[in-house]
Amino acid sequence: MVVESEKLQAALAKVRTSILLDYGELFGSEERCRQRVIDPILSALGWDIFSDEVVVEHPLPSLRRKRNKGSKGQEEEAEKEKSKRGAPPALDYVLYEVLPWGKLPRVVIEAKAIRELQRERERSCLLESKGQKAVDILRLKCKEVPDGTAGKRQKGSEYSSLLALLDVPCWYKDKGQPQGGEKTSQNQGQASKETSCPNFNLAQTGIRANQEDYVMPGIPVYEVGRYVMPSRIIITSGVDWIFMDLEPRDYELFVSHVESFHILREPLSRTIEVLSRFLSPEAIIGKEEIIWPRCAPVPLRTVMSDPQWQRVLPERGRQGSKICLYHWESVNDPPKQINKSPITLGNVINEFKGWLETNFQGSKIPYVPKSNQPDVYHVFAGLYEMVVEYWRRFPFNGVTPDTIGVYSNAWGEKISPCATSQLHPGHPEQDPAPNEVVDQ
């Protein structure tokens, strides 16, 4: 890590002293914990808490209600229901990785008063959450704490903002798609023709309100035209720190790793090591978002950074590799198909070149790589370089490695029925290893 250890050590020493002197004031006040403990630690780690890389009280978008024409009474009832919901929830902190073409959310911090996280530590519901559904942990197991004196139950800390972010089904709606996030048959969401690329449409779901509410998973990032779900959640009072990494599995978000420490009980060396490893700006560079290949394409930048997406099937006639390219234009719209019909690996560059020439006439393409590359990595590396050079020349056309998406029928079980067309041959056990040479 490139964290300045001496600066961090001095800041932690000062914070520890402040906690001991002002423990009574901090015990029940989340706001004081943020100002006197959390903010100084973030600054010492290298975050500029007054810049756009740290967003405080980050609002989540309110649900977009589909307006159906009805009677005056129905419209009044809808307005009453809307007013009951109140203001949309806000995330306490969102930390961003700043890329040349935009910034992407990487870490969400939920701040609590010391008293609230002290309860959590006593119950261990968060500390023992590895392998469990994140939503179940936050909504059910960590909802209440026993009152030892009265034998009753009292409400514990609430996680409404985190639930508003995480409690969203991960799929788009296609023909035959169900409501409410439930699974259906293997034909669910499939393209109507074998020669078509999957058509990822916005989902309608009743998960948060009723069947007419549109819900999208993640935080809207307007620079890249899509929603992004961070894969790291941190819950802290500044004294207790709980780090939770998430992974998608079976239509849900599961906790893949949990780590914690108490700032007054741990050696200073471990406190510095854990904070630097989980929370420093250097630690989140390349910390990818949650990828929903079952619901949407995988961003080209992610395809290049993670070898698990660098795979296609060998050419076997109709059962060979099938690739689809997409473009995100707006967070309120589904990704648009670049190629309507699936293409083989050798046609990726030419297909994308033709799309640029058709949609951005007058913007001369500055760089076109060779289309006869020997393997998957070199094809996507060439496409990535082509997109980056195009963005440098025409930054306002909205073509970046995060607005171009990729779908491959070789991702096997990583593609769920909700967004898979009939292109997938149904033999995931035959999926090639990353960078396998493809028959041209």
Per-residue pLDDT tens over the stretch 108-132: 999 999 888 877 666 678 888 888 9
Domain that residue 304 falls in? 298-430
Is 343 part of a structural domain of the chain?
yes
**Of 284, 319, 354, which residue is a domain's last?**
284
C-alpha gyration radius of the chain: 24
Is 290 part of a structural domain of the chain?
no
* pLDDT at site 393: 96
- Residue 55, pLDDT above cutoff 60: yes
Note whether 270 and 387 are same-domain residues: no
Note whether 237 and 317 are same-domain residues: no
Phi and psi angles of residue 409, each rounded to the nearest 5 degrees, phi first: -80, 5
Note whether 242 and 328 are same-domain residues: no
Stated as kind and residue range, the H or E segment containing 154 is: strand 152-155
Note whether 336 and 239 are same-domain residues: no
Note whether 254 and 380 are same-domain residues: no
Stated as kind and residue range, the H or E segment containing 253 is: strand 252-262
| Nearest of 81, 59, 107, 70 to residue 228 by alpha carbon | 107
- Residue 47, pLDDT above cutoff 90: yes
Phi and psi angles of residue 376, each rounded to the nearest 5 degrees, phi first: -60, -45
Tell me the C-alpha distance between 248 and 329, whole Å: 25
Note whether 277 and 409 are same-domain residues: no
**Of 284, 314, 348, which residue is a domain's last?**
284
Q: Which pLDDT tens digit goes with each residue over 9-29?
A: 999 999 999 999 998 888 989
Identity at 277, one-letter amino acid code: R
Is 122 part of a structural domain of the chain?
yes
Tell me the C-alpha distance between 135 and 165, whole Å: 10
- Residue 176, pLDDT above cutoff 50: no
Note whether 119 and 268 are same-domain residues: yes
Tell me the C-alpha distance between 204 and 64, whole Å: 10
Q: Which pLDDT tens digit goes with each residue over 293-309?
A: 667 789 999 999 888 88
Mean pLDDT, residues 66-86: 51
Is 216 part of a structural domain of the chain?
no
* pLDDT at site 153: 38
Is 189 part of a structural domain of the chain?
no
Strands 232-236 and 102-111: parallel
Is 221 part of a structural domain of the chain?
no
Is 195 part of a structural domain of the chain?
no
- Residue 430, pLDDT above cutoff 60: no
Is 406 within 8 Å of 322 (Cβ atoms)?
no
Is 117 part of a structural domain of the chain?
yes
Tell me the C-alpha distance between 207 and 233, whole Å: 22
The more confidently predicted of residues 180 and 217 is 217
Note whether 95 and 10 are same-domain residues: yes
Note whether 268 and 382 are same-domain residues: no
Q: What three-state secondary structure class fits 55?
A: strand
Note whether 276 and 305 are same-domain residues: no
Tell me the C-alpha distance between 271 and 363, whole Å: 52
Is 237 within 8 Å of 117 (Cβ atoms)?
yes
Q: Which pLDDT tens digit goes with each residue over 312-371?
A: 766 655 555 688 999 999 887 888 999 988 888 889 999 999 999 999 998 999 999 987
Is 230 within 8 Å of 290 (Cβ atoms)?
yes
**Of 284, 306, 325, which residue is a domain's last?**
284
User: Domain tally for the chain?
Assistant: 2
Report CA torsion sign: 211, 216, 222, 224. negative
Note whether 396 and 257 are same-domain residues: no
The more confidently predicted of residues 198 and 16 is 16
Note whether 86 and 31 are same-domain residues: yes
CA triple 265-284-39, angle to 5 deg: 50
